[in-house]
Amino acid sequence: TGDDLDGKPSRFHALMMFTKVYKSLSLQKKFQVAMRSMVKHGRFLEDEMLVLHYVSDVGSQELGEKMLPELLLDATFRYEVVFHNVDALTEKLFPIVEAMQKHFSAGSGAYYSDAIFFLSVAMHRIMPAELKHIVQLDLDLKFRNNIRDLFQEFNHFPVEAVIGIAREMQPVYRHTFWQYRKENPKSYVGDPPPDGLPGFNSGVMLLNLEAMRHSTLYNQLLEPERVARLAEKYHFRGHLGDQDFFTMIGMEHRELFYPLSCGWNRQLCTWWREHGYGDVFQLYYHCDGPVHIYHGNCNTPIPDD
């Protein structure tokens, strides 16, 4: 799954949102943990290269350029760093995702700047056609295993799948789909694993850009009328951006998504346990098997090991 560009080494692409980092010490700390653990466990073959993409504002890019040489010092693999300007990407993205923002953004959802929270949804239209696979990662992660193994998961995608993503590990979508669940008491929408559909978490995503470009169904689902129709059917009103969109279309078209095992995005946030869902919380939070990546979401501290 390393993308071979005419004779150049096999390249593995990873992208992180990296905005407003220059003014947040807490984001800088998360960035250090993510990069140090990625470097510590990262192993690639000799002719391979990890390409690290950061979507940044000018201030964060300057900080990133200052911090990365030291963070990557002990890397045993070849790498390349690419910065993408957040404003330039937003300009391309806005026309594609504008119509869905009102369903999946906080507040009015009309804000131009919110479009970037939907980057993954339209990444296949933004990135050059030569780029066929990319992994999008949050900053609040800690690797316990080789990131190269994550890319190998692309090889397990069934034919119709376009995105690999782990389930959401809190009952947040049980809450969001409350009305639909009441009207459809036999449905699995919002139910816990293993049989239910708890929705997705966007902290770790495998985007098969080539498959996203070629999937007629996926591209139809980006059309404003299709999104509006589904949002109405499910009474969906969210504020979590791309992960809301993927969760909603996943209820209708499971075949588009390859379910990553929970160990690839072991979320640690327990907010919903204390907010009305204590009785069912463990059913969602539970994750068996090895943890490859910890995700300290909602600012949850990550265990030392």
* Residue 1 or 60 having the CB closest to ligand UDP: 60
**20 forms part of the interface with ligand UDP (CB under 6 A):** yes
Asked if residue 43 lies in contact with residue 50, where contact means CB atoms within 8 angstroms, the answer is no
H-only helix segments in the chain: 25-41, 58-71, 86-104, 123-126, 147-152, 172-176, 178-183, 209-214, 216-221, 224-233, 242-252, 281-285
* Residue 1 or 202 having the CB closest to Mn ion: 202
**170 forms part of the interface with ligand UDP (CB under 6 A):** no
Among residues 164, 203, 241, 250, which is the contact residue for Mn ion, using CB under 5 A?
Answer: 203
Stretch that binds ligand UDP, among 2-10, 15-23, 73-81, 163-171 (CB under 6 A): 15-23
**16 forms part of the interface with ligand UDP (CB under 6 A):** yes
Distances (CA, A) of 245 to 66, 85, 133, 144, 295: 35, 24, 20, 29, 20
Q: Which parts of 120-159 interact with Mn ion (CB under 5 A)?
A: 138, 140
Asked if residue 116 lies in contact with residue 87, where contact means CB atoms within 8 angstroms, the answer is no
- For residue 128, whether the previous peptide bond is cis, meaning omega lies within 30 degrees of 0, is no
Please list the residues that pair with 294 across neighbouring strands: 142, 266
The 200-219 contact track toward ligand UDP, x by CB under 6 A, reads ---x----------------
Stretch that binds ligand UDP, among 39-47, 133-141, 154-162, 231-239 (CB under 6 A): 133-141
Among residues 44, 114, 131, 138, which is the contact residue for ligand UDP, using CB under 6 A?
Answer: 138
Q: Which parts of 48-107 interact with ligand UDP (CB under 6 A)?
A: none
Measured between alpha carbons, how far is 95 from 215 in angstroms, rounded to an integer?
Answer: 20
* Residue 211 or 240 having the CB closest to ligand UDP: 240
Among residues 57, 114, 140, 191, which is the contact residue for ligand UDP, using CB under 6 A?
Answer: 140
Least distance CB 296 / ligand UDP (angstroms): 8
CA proximity to 231, closest of 251, 254, 217:
251
Phi, psi of 208 (to 5 degrees): -85, 90
* Residue 2 or 241 having the CB closest to ligand UDP: 241
**298 forms part of the interface with ligand UDP (CB under 6 A):** yes
Phi, psi of 290 (to 5 degrees): -70, 145
**15 forms part of the interface with ligand UDP (CB under 6 A):** no
Q: Residue 17 touches which of Mn ion, ligand UDP, none (CB < 5 to 8 A by kind)? A: ligand UDP
Measured between alpha carbons, how far is 18 from 27 in angstroms, rounded to an integer?
Answer: 9
- Residue whose tokens read 């990625």: 38
**Percentages helix, strand, coil for the chain, rounded to the nearest 5?**
45, 20, 35
* Residue 55 or 222 having the CB closest to Mn ion: 55
**264 forms part of the interface with ligand UDP (CB under 6 A):** no
Least distance CB 203 / ligand UDP (angstroms): 5
Q: Report how many residues bind ligand UDP under the rule CB under 6 A.
A: 12
Asked if residue 159 lies in contact with residue 135, where contact means CB atoms within 8 angstroms, the answer is no
C-alpha neighbours within 13 Å on the C-beta side of residue 21? 28
**297 forms part of the interface with Mn ion (CB under 5 A):** yes
Residues at the site binding Mn ion, with contacts judged by CB under 5 A: 138, 140, 203, 297
Site residues, ligand UDP (CB under 6 A): 16-20, 27, 138-140, 203, 297-298
